[in-house]
């Protein structure tokens, strides 16, 4: 199999999480930059990483990279790249773009030039003057950063956060990729109790259940590159079969989700059923003020309201105070809270052991981490 340069894109703050995922999947010699992790793989790696990456946004195939300060340079160097190695003669190949701190700042012009260059390359290879663009889709991106152009093809299609189980949406839902990252950044494992006392539509408990049973997050969805002739169908079938075999469907888990909103809990149960993990999670209507437990060790991972609107700020600050009062007796538990509210620690009345800057969509947040002691090993 040919060696390919691939890029796993990531939300700011999650690059290290994505890099660790790639290492765990067997990839090495990673290049970690803002918003992306570059690695080397094969055609099979396109299938493998799309299926398994939990915190990445998408997987891109890097076709080329070069300096370009003029439109002529962009055209000629784009045309020189091996587009027909991937793009079939009947393919659809739309071009999107972005430009940051580059002399070629007109994105529409850059997109048009790249499109023209690819067409000219395809004409030479296939010996035709017109492309119907009725076949598989190859979404090309030209990304210009400080006069360096990176040309990629998207292998994912819909973002990797779209697992396929969340067909209905709740107010301000947490992205599945961020929820999975929050779990992976915690001390939780399948032997411990996990509670989300403000679970909303259930994304954190569901992602934890998928992690706890080692279920590949992309197992029930499709990817744009599944239609590419360059990747044999049997390769996708093999990777999916191996993912099914790697899952621990009989692994017992203790995951609980609480919320005061019965309607949103109904949505959470629906999502859990769609994800195939409804029997692993107990959803209950309960106010965070009423939270209590007999368990000595456990993890709380939650995404409370942030109070972004001024009218909600006082109510949210009162909620944080309640959380601090209720959780202060859980000195052997590990607690993880994400919020954009800069004063969270003051209202929670406890300084975090560690803060990590993350982004929930475009909202800059802190992930507050409170570490409990490690539970004693079972015999």
Q: For strand 193-196 and strand 299-302, is the pairing parallel, antiparallel, or unpaired?
A: parallel
SS (H, E, C) 142-190: EEEECCEEEEEEECCCCCCCCCCCCCCCCCCCCCHHHHHHHHHCCCCCC
pLDDT tens by residue, 144-154? 999 999 999 99
Fill in the DSSP letter of residue 33.
Answer: E
b/e per residue, 77-97, with b = 16+ CB within 10 A?
bbbebebeebbbeebebebeb
Which pLDDT does position 244 carry in this prediction? 97
For range 129-137, the mean pLDDT:
91
For range 208-231, the mean pLDDT:
97
Q: For strand 281-285 and strand 254-259, is the pairing parallel, antiparallel, or unpaired?
A: parallel
Length of the chain measured in residues:
379
Q: Are 81 and 171 in contact (CB under 8 A)?
A: no
pLDDT class of 129 with cuts at 50, 70, 90: confident
Tell me the two tokens of residue 63.
């076709």
107, pLDDT greater than 90: yes
124-138, 158-172, 351-365: the lowest-pLDDT one: 158-172
pLDDT tens by residue, 355-374? 999 999 999 999 999 999 98
pLDDT tens by residue, 289-325? 999 999 999 999 999 999 888 778 999 999 999 999 9
pTM over 0.85: yes
Percent of the chain, pLDDT > 90? 92
CATH class of 4-154: alpha beta
For range 332-350, the mean pLDDT:
97
Q: Are 146 and 102 in contact (CB under 8 A)?
A: yes
Which pLDDT does position 312 carry in this prediction? 87
In whole angstroms, give the CA distance from residue 12 to residue 9.
Answer: 9
First-to-last alpha carbon distance for the chain, in angstroms, is 46
Collect all residues with Cβ–Cβ distance below 8 Å to 116 and sequence separation of at least 6.
75
pLDDT class of 229 with cuts at 50, 70, 90: very high
55, pLDDT greater than 60: yes
User: Between vectors from CA 356 to CA 354 and to CA 357, what angle results, nearest 5°?
Assistant: 150
For residue 251, the tally of other CB atoms under 10 A from its CB is: 14
Q: What are phi and psi of 13, to 5 degrees?
A: 100, -15
In whole angstroms, give the CA distance from residue 183 to residue 190.
Answer: 11
Tell me the two tokens of residue 300.
């709380």
User: Between vectors from CA 370 to CA 367 and to CA 375, what angle results, nearest 5°?
Assistant: 130
Q: Where are the domains of the chain?
A: 4-154, 176-215+224-370
89, pLDDT greater than 70: yes
User: Between vectors from CA 226 to CA 225 and to CA 228, what angle results, nearest 5°?
Assistant: 65
For range 174-183, the mean pLDDT:
97
Percent helix / strand / coil, the chain, rounded to 5: 35, 25, 40
CATH node for 176-215+224-370? 3.40.50.150
Which pLDDT does position 379 carry in this prediction? 45
Which pLDDT does position 167 carry in this prediction? 75
Beta bridge partners of 369: 336, 354
In whole angstroms, give the CA distance from residue 111 to residue 98.
Answer: 9
Looking at every residue in the chain, the average pLDDT score rounds to 95
Collect all residues with Cβ–Cβ distance below 8 Å to 44 and sequence separation of at least 6.
1, 235, 238, 239
């Amino acid at each position: 199999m040919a060696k390919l340069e691939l890029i796993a894109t990531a939300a700011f703050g999650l690059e290290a999480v994505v890099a660790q995922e790639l290492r765990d999947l067997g990839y090495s010699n990673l290049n970690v930059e803002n918003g992306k992790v570059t690695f080397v793989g094969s055609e099979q790696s396109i299938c493998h990483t799309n299926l398994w990456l939990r915190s990445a946004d998408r997987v891109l195939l890097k076709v080329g990279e070069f300096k370009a300060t003029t439109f002529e340079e962009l055209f000629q160097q784009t045309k020189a790249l091996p587009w027909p190695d991937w793009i079939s003669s009947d393919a659809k190949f739309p071009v999107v773009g972005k430009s940051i701190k580059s002399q070629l700042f007109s994105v529409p012009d850059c997109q048009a030039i790249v499109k023209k260059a690819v067409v000219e390359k395809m004409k030479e290879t296939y010996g035709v003057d017109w492309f119907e663009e009725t076949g598989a889709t190859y979404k090309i991106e030209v990304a210009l950063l400080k006069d360096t152009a990176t040309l990629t093809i998207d292998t994912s299609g819909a973002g990797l956060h779209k697992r396929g189980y969340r067909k209905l949406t709740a107010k301000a839902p947490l992205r599945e990729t961020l929820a999975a990252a929050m779990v992976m950044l915690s001390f939780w494992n399948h032997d411990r109790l996990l509670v989300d006392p403000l679970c909303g539509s259930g994304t954190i408990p569901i992602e934890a259940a998928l992690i706890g049973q080692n279920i590949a997050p992309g197992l029930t969805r499709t990817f744009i590159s599944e239609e590419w002739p360059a990747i044999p169908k049997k390769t996708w079938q093999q990777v999916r079969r191996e993912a099914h075999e790697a899952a621990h469907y009989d692994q017992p888990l203790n995951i609980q989700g609480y919320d005061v909103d019965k309607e949103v809990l109904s949505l959470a149960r629906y999502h859990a059923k769609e994800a195939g993990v409804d029997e692993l999670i107990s959803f209950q209507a309960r106010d965070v003020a009423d939270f209590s437990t007999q368990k000595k060790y456990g993890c709380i991972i939650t995404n409370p309201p942030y109070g972004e609107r001024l009218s909600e700020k006082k109510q949210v600050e009162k909620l944080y105070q309640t959380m601090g009062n209720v959780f202060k007796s859980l000195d052997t538990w590990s607690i993880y809270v994400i919020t954009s509210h800069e004063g969270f620690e003051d209202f929670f009345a406890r300084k975090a052991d560690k803060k990590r800057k993350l982004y929930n969509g475009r909202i800059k947040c802190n992930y507050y981490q409170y570490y409990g002691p490690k539970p004693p090993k079972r015999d």
